Amino acid sequence: MAKARKFRGGRVIPGFGLTFGITIAMLSILILIPLASVLFQSFRLSPSEFWGIISMPNVKHAFATSIGCAFIAAVINSIFGIMLAWVLVRYEFPCKRIMDGVIELPFCLPTAVAGITLSKMYSTKGEIGGPLFDWFGLRISYTHVGLVIALIFIGIPFVVRAIQPVLEKLDSQYEEAAYILGASRRKTFFKVIIPELRPALLTGFGLAFARGIGEYGSVIYISGNNEKEHTQVVSYIIMQKLNYLEYESATAIALIMLIISFILLLFINIIQIRQSRRTNNI
Amino acid sequence: MAYMKDDQRKKLAVDVTRNSKGATKYILITISVLFVFFMLILPLFSVIVNSLKEGLGFYLEAISTEYVLAALGVTILATVITVIVNTFFGIVASWALTKFTFKGKQFIATLIDIPFSISPVIAGLAYIMTFGRSGWAKPVVDWINDMLGTDIKIVFAIPGVVLATIFVTFPFISRELIPVLNAQGTDEEEAAALMGAKGWTIFKRITFPHIKWALVYGVILCTARALGEFGAVNALSKTRGETFTLPLEIDALYLAGSADSITASFAVSSILVIIAVIVLILRNIFEHKSKANREV
């Protein structure tokens, strides 16, 4: 189709120049130029100054905390995400539609609201944190565990919504074949279904992970932001630097975050292109 | 499997999974329901319970203070502008990216998705670096102010709040439209163009009916996110009662730390929770409509 059009030269549908121009102009003004400013501001720093800021202990710890907690949360979300998607696609039960709808709550709920609520619920006097503290002496709010819980909350819809459509479209003939040939259901699941879901799962994982690394509103309350206990996240450090008007430090840290985001975004896009190629060929 | 219709096959798959012993099924459903209940539903109730702790009178007082009303105004203003700008962009960009083939298309699609994966705080920082005291665009803004005799400020003022909100929700609508338009293909538009229809007519008569529900759905999601944006706006807005949005007001009340102000912050939160629940319900209705539309 595309080739045939190229042969004839020119495009049949009108409006390419106009829509393409507007897209590029808005994208540049609103997104790319402001981000480029961060890049240029950070180039004003000499390499040694830059390194000095990045290697400050609290900055290093913040990166370790953000990346580590986001990774753990994304792994947990992948497991629960597969399960939720599976239950929602394959089983029928009462209130299924409500459950399906509620999955997207974290997309709609303002992050600050999620943040203060989770922080209160999991504090030593909260609805969930209270019993846990009284019975087991566990503290959740203001620890890394709390941080991971907030990131699970934020990330779960990414994984479920990435897997669900693929699972719905999954051609059941392989599954049936495996089942008829005598594979156990567990074997069928791990050898037949999981490989089919892998690209979608990686996309969901990548999105949840990327979102988790940069998350601000939902984690700053529950994390407690304690420097000694290493519960400060990178976004918090950047905001702190902004409040102290230390713009150089803020841009240097932001630059590293941007690089991480770009790598993750690239990774997600490569998976998605491969996935669409595969499905188009079938 | 051409001899079986799609729904028949799906039914068989369901049967295969169903006919097996029910134990796994019930265990999985139970774990899922518990997960959803504890992680997602309980927080909603928690907000409502916390907001009503001091009684209804306190609640009403808390949500009608001067600060809250000012923040509500700023939030609505920023949301309305954001939704208009992003809807326009979403339609134009999805048209450009789905109706034509050109080099670097995937790259542009990736660039549009940037705001999804970067920290909102960085969005705020980016605008400070562009329009702030040391930003390169500061002289441009000053020059415009000199020329027109105006006093437009961007950073730490309403325009900054609006820009930050636009940034964070930038890809939402194009993201909803692109898959629908890709699935629809270009045949119908090509036929219309060959028969002599102009661009706008093609869009209005052929493309728009296809994307109608997806657009509504995208607008709803964009509205929800714009109302609740926190990180980016937090970097760009410092004056309570003037440039604060509702989430910033919630933050200020919560950090004030007294039992009363925390209850007040939950009271303000409850407004946003109610909006979020309404959005979820609408979203589900429109999602089903949009799916039905696609299948026709």
Q: Does any domain span residue A29? A: no
Q: What residues make up the domain containing A155?
A: 45-281
- What is the torsional sign of CA B235, B239, B240, B246? negative
- Report yes or no on A39 lying in a domain: no
Residues A118, A153 contacting (CB under 8 angstroms): yes
CATH code of the domain in which A190 resides: 1.10.3720.10
Average pLDDT, chain A: 87
- Our count of domains for chain A comes to 1
Residue B11 has pLDDT above 60, yes or no: no
Pairwise CB contact (< 8 Å): B170 & A269? no
* pLDDT tens, residue by residue, A139-149: 888 899 999 99
Does residue A2 form part of some domain?
Answer: no
CB < 8 Å to A83, chain B: 28, 31-32, 35
- Residue linked to tokens 């407004």: B271
| Residue among B109, B127, B225 whose CB faces A34 most closely | B127
Cβ contact, residue pair B280, A112, below 8 Å: no
B121, B217, B234, B248: which to substitute to probe chain A, counting the most A Cβ within 10 Å?
B121
What is the set of domains in chain B, with CATH numbers? Answer: 1-51 (no CATH), 55-295 (1.10.3720.10)
Contact A65, A259 (CB under 8 A): no
* Residue A116 placed within a domain: yes
Asked whether B28 and A86 are in contact (CB, 8 A), the reply is yes
In a domain, A83, yes or no: yes
Contact A99 B47 (CB under 8 A): no
Residue B15: the pLDDT is 53
| Mean pLDDT for the stretch of residues B22-51 | 90
Q: A176 and B12 in contact by Cβ < 8 A?
A: yes
Measure CB to CB from residue A102 to each of B36, B102, B113 and give the nearest one: B36
The answer, for A135 touching chain B at a CB cutoff of 8 Å, is no
Q: Tell me if A250 and B125 make a contact (CB, 8 A cut-off).
A: yes
- Report ipTM for this prediction: 0.85
Residue A20 is assigned to a structural domain of this protein: no
A21 found inside a domain: no
Question: What are the tens digits of pLDDT across the range A215-226?
Answer: 999 999 999 888
Is A30 part of a structural domain of the chain?
no
Residue A164 and residue A82: Cα distance in Å, rounded? 8
Q: Min CA distance, B214 vs chain A (Å)? A: 16
Task: Label residue B199 by pLDDT band (50, 70, 90).
Answer: confident
Would an 8 Å CB–CB cutoff place A235 in contact with chain B?
yes
- The beta-carbon contacts of A5-14 under 8 Å, at least 24 apart in sequence, are A5/B101, A6/B101, A11/B100, A12/B189, A12/B190, A12/B193, A12/B194, A13/B99, A13/B100, A13/B186, A13/B189, A13/B190, A13/B193, A13/B199, A13/B202, A14/B193, A14/B198, A14/B199, A14/B202
